[in-house]
Amino acid sequence: MYKQAEDIFSKGTKVFILMVLVALIFLAYIYKLFSLQVINGEQYRTQSRRISSQVTTIFPQRGEIFDRHAELPMVINTDSFAVEVTPGEIPKDRYDTVIARLAQYLGTSRTEIDRKIPKNVRLSYTTIQVKQNVPFSVISNIAENKSDLPGVSWISKPVRNYLHTPSLSHIVGYVGDINQEEMTALYNQGYTRNSVVGKTGIEKQYDSFLQGTAGREISTVDVHGRVVSNEVSVEPPKMGNSLVLTIDSDIQKLVEDALGNRVGASVVLKPATGEILAMVSYPYFDSNIFNSDNSSAEYAKLVNDTSKPLINRAVQLSYPPASTFKIVMSTAMLQEGVFSPAKKIECRGRMSYGGRIFHCHVHEPGHGWLDMRNAMAQSCDVYYWTIGRDYLGIEKIASYAREFGFGKSSQIDLPSQVAGLVPTSEWKEKKYHSRWLGGDTMSVSIGQGYMEATPLQLANMVAMVSNKGVIYKPHLLKEIRDPVTNEVIQEVRPEVLTQSTIEPEIWDQIQESMRYTVTDGTPQYPMHNRLVKIACKTGTAEVDGFKDSWHSWLVAYAPYDAPPEERVCVATIVEAVNEWEWWAPYATNIIIQGIFAHQTCEEATRALGFNYLTNNRSRQE
């Protein structure tokens, strides 16, 4: 009896345990389902959508670029298209026929398309872009024959259209397809392999502002990438911000015409703010060539051109500053108090030193006895050779040169610029393993020898004189604006680049000497101007390897009798490769006349009485 009871109890226990286990398993399943659908439901739904969605990028339009008046754009977007192929949508037996026909429509080779769609991806449903900058007429032709072109599609992909004066090419730059190096650097910033990026100039410097935000078109696809639903979700793109530059288009055109087809550069800036009003480097190029199918060949031509049209001579090439450097020498002499500006030095047209004869630009009988003001006006080399070698020395000269901004970056908002060179005895020892000589000091004292500076640095030098000791950071960006509302998002404020400790009365003497150079010095005829008073300094740089060849320099500010807020500074160089005509002074005067009289180059030339010079040049050409 007890045995029977134990058996009954044992069976009941087993059933109970079994029922508990079933209940626990059932509860575990319920919890799992609850977790999947409620607790973590959104996470898995998002993952599911990601797996079953195909995202197509909708390219945004790049921001437009305006000159300082923000009225008409200098750079706009032109409607264009990119043609794409989804290889997996092309029937295998028709692949060769479809690709051959597409190549015919696009005016390209079958080989070029095969290069972009290698054999290992021909079964893929990933969309591949095969050609950009396709005009609407070609897209229309493809659309009309869509039934014969399975797997072929197209998207809108605007291209840049560069307007106005061609000399803006060095400032604005151009865009192109992103390369692997750029992709590696920019991947985390949202760029893709189909992105278009700035390559040079403002397009590159402010690419992140101009890019805009890409949109997305989201389609539902199967595991092979085939679209399985007509429902499409679209997130529209956002256009890039508009940029307003400091450039004045009228002044840019004036400077371009004044320089003409002479190899060289000219910079116009506002000394009180550092704003660049114009920057011309000749030769320049057409930024629109990079929109063409033949862009690679066109780029190769520019790279191989011996005149170097891709280089912005205003900031990317440095030259001997020649006698314009006498402004720095005079300032150093006065600040150090090593030689009285009223004391005279005799120039006999030559100076003997170290077994060499150094000739002043005026040979026998020389300039005679000169004080500082007349030495600068007549650009006497003997005077400054003496001051540099006997009273200042290379270390003091170098120190003042650096205070004026030589030998270091001007920090202008462009992606590429050179620092120039301020030589010292230590530098020569490291570079050439030879000691510094007195003759080296003499050469540097007149802006020759190893000394090098860019046109922008010389414009900054004049700005320091105009501002009595301050150089503002030169800049090309004025404002960033919202592309829809035109609201100013960011405004560039003047920023001090260099603050000199030179005494104010010394700047008065330098300004007076630069004005005296115009009224009584070597450039008094080409720099004569009845409308506005100009202060200037000429420079004639001897070029190594070219017999009787010189770079022609002129640096100036105007009006002399106005406060810095109303002035402009101009630095112009005409390279030695041009026919010698001492054009830098004439060009600078034309620029200043045109700015303050609101005249074109032709009108300013006539007003100054220089039209006979341009007429003679035209007849010679």
DSSP assignments along 133-164, one per residue: EE-HHHHHHHHHTGGG-TTEEEEE--EEEE-S
| Share of residues in the chain with pLDDT > 90 (%) | 60
Taking every pair of C-alpha atoms in the chain, what is the biggest distance, in angstroms? 150
- Quick one: pLDDT at residue 146? 83
Q: Average pLDDT, whole number, for the chain?
A: 88
**Angle in degrees, 0-180, between the axes of helices 504-520 and 455-466, rounded to the nearest 10:** 110
**Angle in degrees, 0-180, between the axes of helices 601-608 and 611-620, rounded to the nearest 10:** 120
Residues sharing a CB contact under 8 Å with residue 28, sequence separation 6 or more, in sequence order: none
- Quick one: pLDDT at residue 621? 35
Write out the H or E segment, with its range, that includes residue 299: helix 295-304
What CA–CA distance (Å, rounded) separates 614 from 610?
A: 7
- Quick one: pLDDT at residue 378? 96
Full-model pTM: 0.85
Below-50 pLDDT ranges, the chain:
2, 49, 223-225, 618-621
Contacts 24+ apart (CB under 8 A), 122-125: 122/87, 122/88, 122/90, 122/95, 123/87, 123/88, 124/87, 124/88, 124/225, 125/86, 125/87, 125/88, 125/89, 125/221, 125/224, 125/225, 125/226
pLDDT in tens, 134-169: 888 888 888 888 888 888 888 877 889 998 788 999
- Quick one: pLDDT at residue 125? 79
- Quick one: pLDDT at residue 616? 53
Residues sharing a CB contact under 8 Å with residue 8, sequence separation 6 or more, in sequence order: none
pLDDT in tens, 439-450: 999 999 999 999
Closest CA to 173 of 318, 296, 59, 279: 279
